[in-house]
A and B are shown apart, each in its own frame.
Chain A
Amino acid sequence: MGIQERLIEDVGLREGVSRLNEDSIQKTVNAVFQGETGARLKAYAEICLRCGMCTEACHFYLSHDKDPTYAPAAKVKQTIGTLLANGGRASPDQIYSMAQIAYSECNLCRRCVHYCPVGIDTAYMMITMRRICHKLGVTPQYIQDTAHSHSATFNQMWVKDDEWTDTLQWQEEEARDEFPDLRIPLDKEGADVYYSVIAPEPKFRTQLIYQAAAILHTAKIDWTMPAEPGWDNSDMCMFTGDFEMMGRLKRKHFESAQKLKVKRIVMGECGHAFRSVYDVGNRWAGWKHYPVPVVHSVEFFWELLTQGKIKLVSKYPGPVTLQDPCNIVRGRGLGDKLREVIRILVDGEIVETASNREHNLCCSAGGGVINCGPPFKNARVAACKAKADQLRATGVKTIIAPCHNCHGGLDDTVHKYELGMDIKFLGDIIYQCMERPEA
């Protein structure tokens, strides 16, 4: 029991701590405490009652045989709490385990907030720990690679500028078999909709861009995609603790929309990117909300379907269950809209999981955890056991998950726990069921 018995070898963490000593650690830790944190951290650290009410909130705890070291307050105690108690001093080995806890054993899902009587935000403490780790140069290798990609290319997946436009044109061409005059308009000034995606879409999931183009085209939306960097709305730097780069990313994203003078940004089915624009990156870059209106595709699809811009020729066969993505449901209150969209699309009922809406259990992939890569995969999927049990209990065959992270995480989960369920994006279903005027 305890972090020492479950340490995972990761070259990023190992190399990172090899360059540290207690003095250098203390200097950096205290620079973050004194320079970047304030009353919030102080109050949280002081008034946490060690009551353990938050324990039952966390899927890591629930999935790991109630191992107390996975409880939210316990994770704080083993990271920020220890650093505060020791005046910022820690050994390189301690930093290794703290980094593992902060990066791979907390999804920043904030479910624990619903359990804490004094309103402590454990995710904030974990992200502060990650910030310290970033400044110490101790980051899991895989997620650091995406952060490097962000700083070099302004997208998460090392997609080169010509590859980006090539991919869009390729998808446009593919789609023209089905929709002869479909366009993916690039850099169109003054369009109603600027459609932005996360970099894994052009890299691995091009069919999602195809589907989005088909939907936007069918709904006769005046839309565009930017040809230049800024198109990627994702934000792994938010999760590594590289806040400087996070701010640059958000600025780039918004500026590319402002340059095109679009009316609003529609974001694809991704949760973390959405969090980054309304909650974290925008604030760092100095916007209280955001300079260009932003909607998530759940809201956008809701508009298209309720305004009759997309008509259906069939409905998706239900019953279905759904995965409420933390960042858009607990994080942005889209639970009702999501259900309305599903009711329009699905023939059959929505069988809710035992914890749902803002009380949902995280898919265990969010918060950058899935992005920490293969070394941490088994541990991540193990932490999804509680979720898998809830999904199995619904007895249905389809999970609707309007978020890339949830999708990726649940893919592994369905496989590991042999749930035999299909996982769908809303876009998959709309594309499959919509009326095609030109067909």
Chain B
Amino acid sequence: MDYATLLQILDSTIRLAVPLLLACLAGLWSERAGVFDIGLEGKMLVAAFASGAVAYITGSAWAGLAAGIGAALVWAVLHGIASITFRGNQLISGVALNFLASGMTVLVAQAAFSQGGRTPALSSSGRFNEVTLPFADAVREVPVIGPLYADVISGHSLLVYLAVLAVPATWWVLLRTRFGLRLRAVGENPAAVDTAGVSVTRLRFAAVLIAGVLCGIAGTYLATALQAGFGREMTAGRGYIALAALIFAKWRPWGALWATLLFGFFQAIALRPDVVPIPVAALEALPYVLTVLVLAGFVGKAIPPRAGGEPYVKER
């Protein structure tokens, strides 16, 4: 494999890792507050559809982003009502919302555009186009580092850089602010937080809504940056890979970055069977197999937040 090929693979690694990263951070917020979120997939899917549809109608990528976040927030609120307010099973709620997203997006897309459950292709203004970072062209001629900067680091859509910035932001808010401390405490021992006079319900809703915003950006990225428009089931299991990455990352923000880059790398080389002579099926199964191994504690132990999955009952 020559250097140019490697750069191409790294470039697509970043492209493919970004939706995983955003969804993984979404899951991190939610699960750190003690709300399991199987519904990342569904939230990304509704966001992808809403952003694709609105960006097509208005011709504005930013309107698409707003619509994408809005749609994912609706799903997040539903998840919150079911699993926080009515203390339903968080896992079942997530599964339900995934099905709802899968069916609704196609139904509405078909009713609105009659193109077999797709949105029409977006024009350039409806997409988040590639931005060139400063000095990218100037340093291109510098050996090794120049092409790396110009072709791999530079030249992505704005949402890619936003996703990368979300990592330190998540780290800082979650681990260095009072809000973050309380939020993590709710995921470990909600009764203690309740005793301290802080609303468990409000904190958990906040976490679920933040997860909604991040999933909204992830879905928008799929429909308006990675591709030009929405296609049915376009999330293609990314929500579940993000969950896998979250376990791999042991529920930590920087870990999420490395885990999703790793999984993005697997996806990138699966697209290049000419370079890596491994069966595609094996590469596709790899993230899942690795996750099972991590879960089983064979490769480092991943311990989830202690109150995860349990609705908090105040009176007891």
A binds B: no
B interface list, Cβ under 8 A from A: none
